[in-house]
Amino acid sequence: MRALHLTNAGAVPWWVIVACGAAMGLGTMSGGWRIVKTMGQRLTKLTPFGGFAAETSGAITLFVASHYGIPVSTTHTITGAISGVGAAHRLSAVRWGVAGRIVWAWLLTIPAAAGIAGLAYVILRAFGG
């Protein structure tokens, strides 16, 4: 299997692509249901109409950001859209404590992911990766 060429500087080995896909799949399998429950029930009570509005506005936001080359997170976008649907109904419909915990989780995952990536790099480098 050949490596995927993303830039002129080099290629991504096939095992990296497989490992990333497996990690994303395992992460979704292990915690995806909790995220769906939090977004659709705990953050605000989401109806099918509200879900459609949130998904549509999230998609439009992603298309516009991508068009202008602005890097945005799909998770952040849909969370904001769901909060917006709840707030449009009434401000008290959004559980702001849950929203605050989500934001804290986002802030903490950046240094945590950096630390784990750094550790993985050191370990792989030590074994000749």
Alpha-carbon distances, residue 117 vs 26, 49, 84, 110, 121 (angstroms): 17, 40, 33, 11, 6
- Please indicate, yes or no, whether residues 72 and 122 belong to a single structural domain of this protein: yes
- Please indicate, yes or no, whether residues 41 and 77 belong to a single structural domain of this protein: yes
- Please indicate, yes or no, whether residues 12 and 42 belong to a single structural domain of this protein: no
- Please indicate, yes or no, whether residues 59 and 120 belong to a single structural domain of this protein: yes
Domain enclosing residue 25, as ranges: 1-32
Residue ranges in the chain whose pLDDT is less than 70: 1-10, 129
What pLDDT shows up at residue 7?
A: 57
What pLDDT shows up at residue 2?
A: 53
Domains contained in the chain, number: 2
Would you say 77 and 108 are in contact if contact means Cβ atoms under 8 Å apart?
Answer: no
- Please indicate, yes or no, whether residues 20 and 71 belong to a single structural domain of this protein: no
- Please indicate, yes or no, whether residues 48 and 26 belong to a single structural domain of this protein: no
- Please indicate, yes or no, whether residues 2 and 55 belong to a single structural domain of this protein: no
User: Is the pTM higher than 0.85?
Assistant: no
- Please indicate, yes or no, whether residues 18 and 45 belong to a single structural domain of this protein: no
